Chain A
Amino acid sequence: MVVRMAQAGTLESADCLVTVVPAEEFGLDYRGGNRKLFGERTRKLVLETLDRHGFSGVQVTIRDQGALELVIRARLETALKRATAEA
């Protein structure tokens, strides 16, 4: 379970900045120049990643600077670990 707000990534080209916040239910705010093209793909990727790691109540924000899918997934996983790690 996500217990605190956490971030991972950067706003450099080919990267993305992912923020996760504890929430009652899932929500995704995906911003970036390719939102129309990759919005659905990213939503699927985020849901799959959350599901694989057993998360549900989390608000995810992604600011995409042209990151590959594998980069978005890695940044989301880092953010989730940071949001759940013992402080």
Chain B
Amino acid sequence: MRTMRSMLYIPGNSPGMIQNAAVFGADMVMIDLEDAVALSEKDAARDIAAGFLRDYDFGDLPVVVRINGADTPHFEADLEAIVPLKPFAVRLPKCQSPADVTTVDARMGEIEGRFALPVGAVPIHAMLESALGIENAYAIATASSRVKALTLGGQDLTADLGIQKTRDGWEFFYARSRVVMAAKAAGIDAFDTVWTDFNDPEGLFRETRQIVELGFTGKAAIHPSQVEIIHRAFRPDAKEVRKAERIVAAALEAERQGRGVVAVDGKMVDGPIIARARHLIDLAGLYGMEGGEAR
């Protein structure tokens, strides 16, 4: 298991940034061929992304590529250039229905076959950024075994809903809950949208805490400076981790003594609480904490 707390957007036509991708400390990077690239540079960004995927050593950093939507003239060329190079995943924008996924799935399978790759070798991260896409979340998540994550596209969603994004973000509460629920039900990951004001780290931290509590796997970052803040928000509370360790220790002791009932800090503890405590300790380990303290 690896952490996927942060996914850093990198414009596809910026070789200097792609070349430094690993330096920013993100758990995953996403080379963007869509919104971050001017129309006149779509061809150039595609060649750059393909060049990096083919020849550059990213170490063990997962590299996702966001292609242009199926309704654009760039879509076919993007798939042809990117799929044979086996990125960590292809991010598919503007998914509205299961058919959007199955069409792309078939097209990708055809390309994989031609390049002697196993069909299904390249996963899809489906981006939900419209009311219809959100309502179809579970159907999209299960439309193909290729779909390994749902991602929320907040910018387009506000436009579709005709609303403004607020600092508190309560207008996304339903969409976020829906995305997480559908992803968990399908057994895949869920990634949250970007925090666009990179001069407001406090707002980013608060929003990231919210989405951690909702159950998201990770959050997108549009600036390298956001990575550290997102990681900080994912770190479990040290007090909670210490308590979890006491719960697990007490459960082990009770098991050793053949007792079924466990009390910790004067409160009865049962199966689900012990399971949750174990999960929290695993997370803490994953995020580099031991005994509730950062390593």
Contacts and interface: CB of A to CB of B under 8 A. Distances in A.
Given A78-B43, A78-B44, A78-B47, A15 B16 contact: yes
Given A70-B52, A70-B54, A70-B56, A14 B47 contact: no
**Interface size for chain A: under 10, 10 to 19, 20 to 34, or 35 or more residues?**
10 to 19
B44 A14 contact: no
Interface string B52-78: 101110000000000000000000000
Contacts of B55: 69-70
Contacts of B51: 70-71, 73-74
Interface stretch (A5-13, A25-33, A35-43): A5-13
Contacts of B14: 12, 15
Contacts of B54: 70
Interface of B: 13-16, 19, 43-44, 47-48, 50-52, 54-56
Query: Is chain B's interface secondary structure helix, strand, loop, or mixed overall?
Result: helix
B43 A71 contact: no
A81 B57 CA distance: 26
A87 to B, nearest CB: 14
Contacts of B43: 78, 81-82
Interface string A59-87: 00000000111110111011001100000
29 contacts: A8-B44, A9-B44, A10-B13, A12-B14, A14-B16, A15-B14, A15-B15, A15-B16, A68-B15, A68-B19, A68-B56, A69-B55, A70-B52, A70-B54, A70-B55, A70-B56, A71-B15, A71-B19, A71-B48, A71-B51, A74-B15, A74-B47, A74-B51, A75-B44, A78-B43, A78-B44, A78-B47, A81-B43, A81-B47
Contacts of B44: 8-9, 74-75, 78
Contacts of A81: 43, 47
B15 A67 contact: yes
Contacts of B16: 12-15
A11 B224 CA distance: 22
A81 B51 CA distance: 15
Nearest to A9: B44
